[in-house]
Amino acid sequence: MSVQGLLKKAAGLEIRMICPLHSVIWREDLPWLIDKYLKWSSYTPEEKSVTIAYGSVYGHTEKAADILAGKLADRGIRHISVFDVSKTHPSYIIADAFRTSAMVFASITYNGGIFCNMDTLLHQLAAHGLTNRTAALIQNGTWAATTSKQMGEILGTMKNIHVLEADVTIKSALKNDQEAELDALADAIAASLQ
């Protein structure tokens, strides 16, 4: 039986305690916890927020991610998480992905492919069945920036992931004239949260 079906069946019961397999025993705030289970089991985002995950070697992709986070905050988005995939275990980013409604993946091109830690994150998100999200892409590559296409292919295997068309391509470092591209991406992400 699905979690949704079980919760529907249990709705008529007087529940005094929830004993999850991988957590503490709950005796208080049960309606809050049941609401969380309903959202998690239906892959409904908990809040209109943005998670930015980036893979950067020399700091240029990180800078673009940070600038984008600032632009999103300027547009009134208050819940923004920024993760360096080289320093943060995928489990933390995956937990945040279940909370958030939009995700940004910013990756360098590494040996013609997606940066290894970003590749791992994307495949783990797919393995966890993440659905019903908006995704935005930033790619960085000096000779052949190919990661937007490759990340898009992985996201394309996931159900109900809407990839925004307004992506950004960086050639080594963000140029001054690319400010408008980041603005357009921030506008598209903000609009997706409405």
| pLDDT tens-digit map of 133-183 | 999 999 999 888 899 999 999 999 999 999 999 889 999 999 999 999 999
Contacting residues for 72 by C-beta, under 8 A, at least 6 apart: 50, 80, 186, 189, 190
In order of their start, the domains of the chain are 3-42 (no CATH), 50-192 (3.40.50.360)
Given a cut of 90, whether residue 92 has pLDDT beyond it is: yes
Compute the average pLDDT of residues 89-97. 96
**Percentage of the chain surpassing pLDDT 90?**
75
Diameter over CA atoms, the chain:
62
Q: What is the pLDDT of residue 6?
A: 83
Q: What is the pLDDT of residue 118?
A: 98
Q: Which DSSP state fits 25?
A: P
* pTM of the predicted structure, to 2 decimals: 0.90
| pLDDT tens-digit map of 101-140 | 999 999 999 999 999 999 999 999 999 999 999 999 999 9
Cα separations (Å) of 150 from 107, 160, 185? 10, 18, 19
The crossing angle, in degrees rounded to 10, of helices 3-10 and 30-42 is: 150
